[in-house]
Structure 1
Amino acid sequence: MSKRSRRAAPAQGAVRPTVTVCRGCCCGSPKIAGLDHAAQLRELRTELAGRATVRVTDCIDACDQANVIVVQPSAEGRRAGGRPVWLGLVNDADATGDIRAWIEDGGPGLADPPAVLDLYAFTPSRRVRAELPEQ
């Protein structure tokens, strides 16, 4: 029997999109000069209040892409085909604003991201993806 078949059925998903902000060893550290990490997180939490769940996690082992933000779809977005989107090198206010605008429009599965976010998107290894908890 495979590991996959022994797992519980996946959760139905969150009502709202989930934004996971890495603040581990490299993300959110002085290693990324010129970025106010606290302001970035505060902006996401303030501007997305009621629209998305914003959470902080320790290192998710994608340090070469610091700062990493993962946007997970809402249950409705997942039903529409949306999947988690990993964004790396999110080190300026414009990128944070683009992420915020996308989520305000519905996020993965419900709205196309601004084209500029294609420059930030990356695919982590299967091992790294597995470390991010489901919504």
Structure 2
Amino acid sequence: MSRRKAPAAQAASRCTVTVCRGCCCGTAKVPGVDHAGQVTTLRAELGAAAQVRVVNCLDACERANVIVVQPSSTGRAAGGRPVWLGLVNDPDATADIATWVRDGGPGLAEPPDILDLYEFSPSRRVRRAVED
């Protein structure tokens, strides 16, 4: 008899990709970006590999569009920590994020080198609100 994982346990075994869609991210303030398409692409590309969640505001508006990739429980045990990416306004960057997460994400797979250009460290207050 096979037991299904509980939703919480299943979610912990996957990365979480948090997409900001607040006052600046995902709005006309960042022109020329298919904001809805970005979320649709992440959900389609990641399927069961990660939970994609949309939040109102990550309070890093100067870096719109912001995406945070949180490691799976296995990735965290291997030393992975959440990675904050800003200015993710190019479909190629979205594709690179999806590929990295499918490969295991923080702690389990090296991100494509190009994502170094997008990575930033938010304030402790902002980081604590999302990562806890």
TM-score using structure 2 length: 0.90
1:22 to 20, 23, 48: 20
The match for 1:53 is: 51
User: 5 Å matches for 1:112-127?
Assistant: 112-127=110-125
Q: Does 1:105 align with 2:131?
A: no
The match for 2:68 is: 70
Amino acid at match of 1:32: V
Q: CA RMSD in A?
A: 1.5
Could you list the per-position Cα deviations for residues 14-55 of structure 1 after superposition, in whole angstroms to 9, with x for gaps in the alignment? 110000000000000011111000000000011101000000
Greater share of residues in helix = 2
The match for 2:4 is: none
In structure 2, distance between residues paired with 1:78 and 1:88: 22
Deviation, structure 1 residue 131: 1.3
Could you tell me whether the CA contact under 8 Å between 2:82 and 2:131 is conserved in 1?
Answer: no
Identity of aligned residues (%): 66
In structure 2, distance between residues paired with 1:63 and 1:118: 19
**Partner-residue secondary structure (3-state), 2:37:** helix
**Structure 2: gaps spanning 5 or more residues:** 1-7
Deviation, structure 1 residue 64: 0.4
Could you list the per-position Cα deviations for residues 56-100 of structure 1 after superposition, in whole angstroms to 9, with x for gaps in the alignment? 001110000100000000000000000000000000100000000
Deviation, structure 1 residue 133: 4.7
**Partner-residue secondary structure (3-state), 2:12:** coil
The match for 2:126 is: 128
**Structure 1: gaps spanning 5 or more residues:** 1-10
Amino acid at match of 1:35: V
The match for 2:86 is: 88
Q: Name the count of aligned residue pairs.
A: 124
| Displaced runs of 4 or more, over 6 A | none
